[in-house]
Amino acid sequence: MQLSASELILNADKSIYHLNLLPEDIAETIITVGDPDRVATVSKFFDSIEVKKGKREFYTHTGTLNGKRISVVSTGIGTDNIDIVFNELDALVNIDFDTRTVKPNKTVLDIVRIGTSGSVRSDIPIDSFLMSEYAMGFDGLLHFYESDAIQESDVSDAFVNHTNWSPNKSVPYVVKYDEELGKKLLSNRIRLGTTVTNIGFYGPQSRVLRLKLSDADLQEKLASFAYNDVKITNLEMETSGIYGLSKLLGHRAVSMNCILANRANGEFSTNPTKSVEELIQYTLEKLTTT
């Protein structure tokens, strides 16, 4: 079936609409970062850079490190942007732009998010690194797709019961990481955890400036949740969308979190730039030398 112009939107040069990329511009190993400025922070460690493109908040550098081709793409903040970035990355490798048809043989991308996060547990120190074994989404993105088969519904059901979750909010969904890619990035420096993906930075993450919260106890409920071996460890704003869309599209994804805040202790990193760069270098080494 040929995709219409309103479904697969291409620019005049046949690049994909938002990312402004051509199929040859990306590698099969991709690092995503939220902050557009962090793209250059990653690519400065490459041995060479062949592509530099950008549009809106979406910047891409593609280059080579230790003989391996890698792309780094900025997503901006939130799962709404993840929906754009991941559908367009998949289109770049799995849709023929000339015929506007889906390719019969699919390319599998390895996608690693490198991002910042806040811990909800007092025993997870700032400036430490955490890999999201599970992602719990408060954002609702995955409910717009046929996604029941990839969700850990027993975990989300237990969470809804534990928190007395309001029916006025989107039902949380839970998706697991890609274990094979995760093993490649694990070491004794990395702890595994369950990451909550929120739809905002303030109220949704229980921050209070001037507005009252609908559930003032939510942060304590997150920290006290336990179901079998699943305990919530940290908060951020993209991982659930990354895991959900990657599984639906047939790609492998892992989220690497640099813990800059400890919400339980009220602490924030005194040198966040240094900590994030250490996680970047760690991840690049694992991706290109193992």
| 123 close to 139: Cβ distance less than 8 angstroms | no
Beta strands in 207-287 (DSSP E): 226-227, 230-236, 252-262, 267-268
CA angle 87, 49, 33 (to 5 degrees): 40
Supply the mean pLDDT for the chain. Answer: 96
200 pLDDT more than 80? yes
Q: What is the pLDDT of residue 1?
A: 86
Least confident of 17-21, 57-61, 119-123: 119-123
Q: In sequence order, what are the residues at sequence separation of 6 or more whose Cβ sits closer than 8 angstroms to the Cβ of residue 248?
A: 145, 147, 150
Q: Tell the burial category of 49 from Cβ atoms under 10 Å away from its Cβ (0-12, 13-18, 19+).
A: middle
Tally of CB atoms within 10 A around 274:
10
**pTM score, whole prediction:** 0.96
136-188, pLDDT tens digit by residue?
A: 999 999 999 999 999 999 999 999 999 999 999 999 999 999 999 999 999 99
Nearest to 22 by CA among 99, 111, 98, 77: 98
Quick: pLDDT tens for 61-108: 999 999 999 999 999 999 999 999 999 999 999 999 999 999 999 999
d(CA 121, CA 273): 22
| CA–CA–CA angle 176, 25, 251 (5° rounding) | 15
Residue 239 has a pLDDT of: 98
Residues in the chain: 290
Rg (CA), the chain: 19
121 has pLDDT over 80: yes
pLDDT, tens only, 230-266: 999 999 999 999 999 999 999 999 999 999 999 888 8
Q: What is the pLDDT of residues 13-49, one digit of tens each?
A: 999 999 999 999 999 999 999 999 999 999 999 999 9
Tell me the mean pLDDT in the region 116-142: 95
What b/e sequence results for 181-190 when a residue is b if at least 16 CB atoms lie within 10 Å of its CB, and e otherwise?
Answer: bbeebeeeeb
Cα separation, 41 vs 71, whole angstroms: 13
Please determine, for residue 290, whether its predicted confidence score (pLDDT) is greater than 80. Answer: no
Phi, psi angle pair for 249, to nearest 5°: -90, -5
Which residues neighbour 215 within 8 Å (Cβ) at sequence distance 6 or greater?
163, 166, 221
Specify whether the CB–CB gap between 124 and 259 falls below 8 A.
yes
- Per the listing, tokens 């997870």 go with 124
Give the Cα separation of 116 and 230 in Å (integer). Answer: 21
